[in-house]
Amino acid sequence: MTIRSTGGRVAAFAWFAFAVLNLLDLAFNITGKGDPHYTVTTGTIAALLLLGCALAYVLGIRPAIVGDDDAGVLIRNPLRDVRVPWRAVREIEGTHAVTVRFAGPDGAEVKARAWVHQTSPRAQAKAEARARRDEAHTKVPTAKLKGRTPALYAAQRLNEIRERNRPKTRSGAPDKAAAARTAEEASPARGAVTWSVPALTSLVVPLLMLVALGVASVLD
């Protein structure tokens, strides 16, 4: 299960198309006359376009929530990745954002919030008002409709996958339950939060280009 922001991806690809057309124009002078001229100004414009592409990638393309039966849950935020095996997950909530509480590398509890499907309190209030209107028409209890936001729906789907992967032990088989507890104590599951090298690199490269071009313009 992979959850992304459709609006963010559409906006990102629209910027990519705009940037590519402008970079081609800078390189080959498609809209002008004569040969292209490569100056500090054209280089600065190109670097700004590339920086915009990096932001489009980091904010629009990269963010996602991935639920995998084997690997666990992965939260890709603009600059960091959160990887948590299902055994390390303690709670998944979907209120104003999808949040995952899990056991960190040192065993302490860590709480991570997903960039995707963040909902403002105002949007949450609108969802609850819409749920009440639906209840009036469908006669479905409000408890089933209250707060139906994308974040809540995503959390519900993740919890379903988590439940499927929860170790199953019969109440009449205490030996299996004890074995599961022993295995968990011997090799406890831990989640991790890491920086994304591709995301950082995509931002740093055009920023360094802008700095170099700024120095060149001062020395010119």
CA-only gyration radius of the chain, Å = 24
Compute the half-sphere exposure of residue 95: CA atoms within 13 Å on the CB side of its CA. 6
- Digit-coded pLDDT (tens) for 75-107: 999 999 999 999 999 999 998 899 999 999 998
Cα separation, 109 vs 92, in Å, equals 13
Q: Which helix (H) or strand (E) holds 38?
A: none
Name the percent of the chain lying above pLDDT 90.
62
- Report the pLDDT value the prediction gives residue 143, as an integer from 0 to 100: 46
Angle at 85 between CA 200 and CA 54, to 5 degrees: 15
| Mean pLDDT lowest among 8-12, 105-109, 166-170, 194-198 | 166-170
Is it the case that residue 164 has pLDDT exceeding 60? yes
Is it the case that residue 146 has pLDDT exceeding 70? no
> DSSP character for 81?
E
Could you tell me if 217 and 40 are in contact, meaning their C-beta atoms sit under 8 angstroms apart?
Answer: yes
